[in-house]
Chain A
Amino acid sequence: MNDAESIVELIPRLRRYARALTGDHAAADDLVQDTLERAWAKLHLYRRGTDLRAWLFTVMHNVYVNQLRAARPVAQLDEDMPELSQPGRESDGLELRDLDLAIRRLPPDQREVLLLVVLEDMSYDEAAGTLGIPIGTVMSRLARAREKLRAMLSGLPPGGSQLKIVK
């Protein structure tokens, strides 16, 4: 399989990550499209033998950061978010919809780390390489992201609860 075919194979993975990152169908596909265009144009910079997926995610990260810079401040987005359902009212644990909303309330840099490590199953090392940050930063952002999720989803103080999944 050549690089071009490998990229095509990875498009669904890029879409999944973009959807989780942006929380929006159209915005996610815009991000993927911009990423692909940039990737095709920059493919000569990709070094064969290295991880193509990590390279594509790096391209997407750069496009995403540029989009954030161009967009209005992220803090304003938070105000538009619907309220999470009342925590603790139902004892059967985590609602997936709430998790989706909670993830979108994370700061983008923490959300990226969380999704790369937990959804994309990257090692700390791979995530650090993809985002161009030190491993220590990956770990601290991940810890902060998880702490915030815990707080948002449980209504309990950070560190005090455990996620449960509704099947």
Chain B
Amino acid sequence: MDNAPQEDLELKALSQALHQLYDPVLDEPLPERLRARRQRWRAPAIAAGWVILGLCAGTIAGWQLHGSRPAIPAQAEVPGFVKRAAVAHATYSPEVRHPVEVGADQEQHLVAWLSKRLGATVRAPKLETMGYALVGGRLLPGDNGPVAHFMYQTAQGRRITLYVRTTAAENRETAFRFAAEGNVKVFYWIDRKLGYALSSADLRREDLLAVADAVYRQLNP
């Protein structure tokens, strides 16, 4: 300790050198794998994690559909992709600084990019008439390859997200089905090659259904 001043000086020099060496890492753009949270969606992790999602399969009730799709009695089992969609909604919709990877100002690029990654033509429906403007989208890991995730919001900042995934060799259509995961409500359906899940935390079920119907009509004119 008798040479404390020299030690201080030396530590300072070392600190400067370390910052010179490693601070550039702070400004490097984050690779996708570090931005996409919960890349391996383990069931226990989800149960214990910060998004507490009570699985509420029991809340699925027989739903009389008034929209353009036939009503099918709700199934007891919520598909995995719907749970993922709900978690993705809970994860990204509160995000203030980085709600999306690619913003609506680059919509063409966004749609082309997501279509390429999914290997299927993906479109971002226009929902302005429902009061929702496209915020943008991101690519997420899914159980069947990459997933497209679009976010929309109202002028008041209320957000809904549309989760689009490719289905494994399915070529069928289903009715709208409803599920609630925690406080996230989801309408989901399968339309040939693609599965859709539309999520909201604050819309009433019938209002969310109206948006789901608008999405479906746009994608199937």
Do these two chains interact? yes
> Shortest Cβ distance from B159 into chain A, in angstroms?
15
Q: Mark A94-109, 1 if CB is under 8 A from B, else 0.
A: 1010011001000000
Contacts of A12 in B (CB 8 A): 25-28, 30
The stretch of A2-10, A60-68, A73-81, A122-130 in contact with B is A2-10
With contact pairs A20-B21, A163-B17 given, residues A29 and B34 touching in the complex (Cβ less than 8 Å) = yes
- A119 to chain B: which residues have CB within 8 Å? 15, 18-19, 22
A: number of interface residues (CB 8 Å) = 37
B42 lies within 8 A of A96 (CB)? no
Residues of A within 8 A of B168 (CB): none
The answer to whether A29 and B31 have CB atoms under 8 Å apart is yes
What is the minimal beta-carbon distance from A57 to any residue of chain B, in angstroms?
A: 15
Interface residues of A in 43-62 (CB under 8 A from B): 43-44
Contact yes or no, A11 B49, CB < 8 A: no
B23 in the interface (beta carbon within 8 A): yes
**A13–B95 alpha-carbon span in the complex (Å):** 19
Interface size on B, as a range, is 35 or more
Q: How far is the CA of A132 from the CA of B60 in the complex (A)?
A: 47
Partner of B15, one of A41, A94, A118: A118
Q: Is the CB of B26 within 8 A of A163?
A: no
Closest 7 CB pairs of A and B: A41-B45, A16-B25, A163-B13, A43-B50, A119-B18, A12-B26, A20-B22
28 contacts between A and B (CB under 8 A): A2-B50, A8-B98, A12-B25, A12-B26, A12-B27, A12-B30, A15-B34, A16-B26, A20-B21, A29-B33, A36-B37, A37-B38, A40-B45, A41-B48, A43-B50, A44-B50, A94-B17, A100-B21, A118-B15, A146-B14, A162-B9, A162-B13, A163-B10, A163-B17, A164-B13, A165-B13, A165-B17, A165-B20
Show the binding face of A for B, using Cβ within 8 Å: 2-5, 8, 11-13, 15-16, 19-20, 29, 32-33, 36-37, 40-44, 94, 96, 99-100, 103, 115, 118-119, 121, 146, 149, 162-165
Further 9 A-B residue pairs, CB within 8 A, beyond A3-B50, A12-B30, A29-B33: A4-B91, A8-B98, A15-B30, A15-B34, A16-B22, A36-B34, A40-B38, A41-B42, A41-B48
